[in-house]
Structure 1
Amino acid sequence: LGLGFRVPPRVVAVRVTPWPVTSHARIVQLALRAAELMERYGALGSAQGSTGSLSAPGRAELEAGLHVDGRYLGLGYGRVTPGGLDAIARFTLDGGPPLDTGYSGKSGAAFLDLARDAAEGPLLFWATKSSAALPPAFEAGPSGLGRDRSVLRDLPRMRAFLEAG
């Protein structure tokens, strides 16, 4: 929601479902409702060292800071994309969080493109797929060692299937 930032962040929402489910207006409305709930239940609290409470951003600020990117949707909802497969491999090899082929792989591809294109400011990859604890195989050791890389064996087969279709 952009709480507590000196400069409001730019949020790039990667579309993994077709419009209008993930329209700009619908995402802004969801953010406004979440902000209202946070204010109602006191989740905003006070900023450390400030004299007042934090307040949630308004509609204009949310609209200005949100960019919905539909370039990674591919053939549609839940469909595998070559960029998603590449992101799965890259995240796995670099010790990143596990990605799936239909959803977080697409947002991972967008994240990698932003990083490669030297997007301004720090980048944060935030996948909202699940609140479940990460499996023990994800408990990274030094330099991301300890990851279960068995997913890499399936990627060539999935890519061949995509190219044949």
Structure 2
Amino acid sequence: MTYRSSSASSLSRRAWLALVAAACTPAGERRTTDRSASSSAEGALPTTSAVAETPPPARVKKLDHPWIEALGALPRLSLGDLPTPIEEAQSLAKAIGVGELWLKRDDLSSRVFGGGKVRKLERLFGDARALGRTHVVTFGAVGSNHAAATAAFGVRNGFSVTVHLAGQPKGPVVRRNLALCIASGARIEASSGLADTFAKAVRDAGSGPEADRPYVIAPGGTCHVGNVGMVDAAFELAEQIQLGLAPAPDDIVVAMGTMGSTAGLAFGLAAAGIRARIIAVRCSSEASSSKAALRKLEDGFEHYLESIGAKVTSRAEVDVESRYLGRGYGRPTREGERAIALAKEHAGIELESTYTAKALAALMGRARDLEKRRVLFWASQPAPLAFDPGAVERSALPEALRPYLDD
């Protein structure tokens, strides 16, 4: 089977973005927010030892803000160890050459599978449960953090999960995430073109009895419902600033793939009163992330927020940084490898080459312009797992995907 990148398809960019925007239909009749099920459920998946050794997160005082009620009325399934810590990285700031550097440790967001995807999935699985759906379908590259997280959290919380995976360059993180999909018990399908596979799933989900329809989650969890998870993150950050756990940043550096995290933060930060510029470092092809595409996604998300009673008055400034992608999605760069080494040496965190290494590389490359700025780096990569990918059963995997498990 010949693979194309997840952005390559017969669909136009406009059609792809329209599908992403429409994929996650909000629950029409909301039920009580479900926080009874959590990632503490027993399962066969490994846990993150780094998280287990971390002290419980500080309790934060809830902000008094008109959006809180609107967001609180939306379904949410508790999956993560939130809020995630925020800490100063003085040694790393000195090594890079920025004035002040803080880390938002979303790598510690869960013992099951950490990283930024937890936040989107809390909203998405909450919505799926409110709709009475039991089968979740999602999409990604073979090493997708989103696909692995969806498989892990979905099965642990009683959903059946199907993940459609398309090819990408091999690597240790790719091997680990694919193995985690297998270990979760999710059904895995090989896809030669994610956009077409996604489009078919959206069409199929619109037919048949309501109770039998799958809940379709767009690649990266990027849709209006999922993006709300990053609005939650912005308010979490505002609460931590209010408590004096960190100062308000001038700039927030995030890795950008399917753009949902950037869009969610743009509205959440503005609403919460954090006047920071977002430096969104593009880590995927221009077909799936660009300034124009982000603007379109933000416009649609603004309409959604208004529809749920969250009145929008502004959005944060977003500076899309496109110079650090290298040869393409999932392909390591020399600057990224240096960023990985510096982060481990000076901050004790382990970045990955697809997203966060390129985001930190961009910060390093722009250090001269930021030497008098207070910067927050959003560490959205999953923490390392004590897990042997070689121990999984290959027979559960389509033959076309089995070579990705090789060393």
TM-score, L = length of structure 1: 0.57
Aligned counterpart for 2:356 among listed residues 104, 110, 115: 104
Residue of structure 2 in register with 1:114 after alignment = 366
Residue of structure 1 in register with 2:312 after alignment = 55
Q: Quick check: 1:3 aligned with 2:259?
A: no
Asked if the contact 2:343–2:351 (Cα under 8 Å) also holds between the matched residues in 1, the reply is yes
SS of residue matched to 1:89: helix
Q: CA deviation at 1:79?
A: 0.8
Determine the C-alpha separation between the residues in 2 that align with 1:97 and 1:78.
20
Aligned counterpart for 1:17 among listed residues 275, 284, 287: 284
Residue of structure 1 in register with 2:62 after alignment = none
Tell me the C-alpha RMSD between the 2 structures: 2.9
Residue of structure 1 in register with 2:293 after alignment = 26
Aligned pairs (5 A) from 1:58-97: 65-95=317-347, 97=349
Asked if the contact 2:350–2:384 (Cα under 8 Å) also holds between the matched residues in 1, the reply is no
Point out where structure 1 has 5 or more consecutive residues left out of the alignment. Answer: 45-53, 138-165
Determine the C-alpha separation between the residues in 2 that align with 1:107 and 1:4.
24
Asked if the contact 1:81–1:106 (Cα under 8 Å) also holds between the matched residues in 2, the reply is yes
CA deviations on 1:110-132 (whole Å, 9 max, x unpaired) are 122333543553211125456xx
Label 1:129 to 1:40 Cα distance change in 2 as closer, same or farther (>3 A). farther
TM-score, L = length of structure 2: 0.26
Q: CA deviation at 1:81?
A: 0.4
Point out where structure 2 has 5 or more consecutive residues left out of the alignment. Answer: 1-265, 387-407
SS of residue matched to 1:93: helix
> Matched residue pairs, number?
118
**Bigger radius of gyration among the two:** 2
Determine the C-alpha separation between the residues in 2 that align with 1:122 and 1:17.
27
Paired-residue identity, %: 32
**2:271 aligned partner, one-letter code:** L
Q: CA deviation at 1:24?
A: 0.2
Give the number of the structure whose residues are more often strand, by fraction. 2
Residue of structure 1 in register with 2:195 after alignment = none
CA deviations on 1:58-91 (whole Å, 9 max, x unpaired) are xxx55xx222111101111111101000110111
Segment of structure 1 superposing worse, 78-87 or 100-109? 100-109
